[in-house]
């Protein structure tokens, strides 16, 4: 997989650099990758233990406290980009790939929200969900969604 092409597809305009943020059950890892040259280049990184007050049985206790912790960590380490890609660890974090007919983004948002119960084994009001069009159309004209 061409990392630079994948990043470019995610954004309307191509960022010069991006943060990779991995939220694990014990550690947070952040890396800043420069995308300006012919090959991605790591500019800086940090690995730190997740504070005890933010974790309980592999779950994050408070989204607001986690946001504050990440904001402080990013500022303290002088990361200088506003773009980020997240990786979230845990038995309750997962990705489903489905295909849907071609439709507008607004229609797709409604359709994915409506159909989520078929693909996610939890009550719809108990989880956060997001999606993106991904890859080329299938031979039968369906749009892959993740």
Tell me the domain boundaries of the chain.
3-88, 98-145
Q: What is the dotted CATH code of the domain comprising 98-145? A: 3.30.1490
| Most distant CA atoms of the chain, gap in Å | 50
Overall pTM > 0.75? no
The residue ranking higher by pLDDT, 30 or 118, is 30
**Long-range contacts formed by 38-47: CB under 8 A, 24+ apart:** 39/4, 40/3, 40/4, 43/17, 44/77, 44/78, 44/79, 46/73, 46/77
Rounded CA separation 33/61 (Å): 29
CATH number of 3-88: 3.30.420.40
The answer on pLDDT for 111 being more than 80 is yes
Spatial separation of the C-alpha atoms in residues 124 and 89, rounded to whole Å:
20
Answer whether 3-88 and 98-145 agree in fold.
no
Band (42; pLDDT cuts 50, 70, 90): very high
The CA distance from 54 to 62, in Å, is: 7
């Amino acid at each position: 997989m061409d990392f630079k092409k994948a990043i470019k597809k995610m954004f309307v305009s191509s960022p010069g650099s991006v943060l990779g943020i991995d939220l694990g059950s014990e550690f947070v890892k952040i890396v800043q990758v420069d995308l300006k040259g012919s090959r991605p280049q790591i500019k800086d990184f940090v690995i730190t233990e997740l504070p005890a007050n933010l974790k309980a049985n592999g779950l994050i206790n408070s989204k607001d406290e986690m946001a504050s912790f990440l904001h402080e960590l990013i500022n303290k380490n002088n990361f200088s980009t506003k773009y980020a890609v997240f990786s979230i660890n845990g038995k309750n974090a997962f990705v489903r790939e489905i295909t849907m007919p071609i439709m507008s983004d607004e229609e797709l948002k409604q359709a994915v929200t409506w159909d989520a119960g078929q693909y996610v084994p939890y009550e719809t009001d108990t989880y956060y969900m997001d999606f993106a069009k991904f890859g080329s159309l299938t031979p039968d004209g369906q749009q892959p969604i993740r």
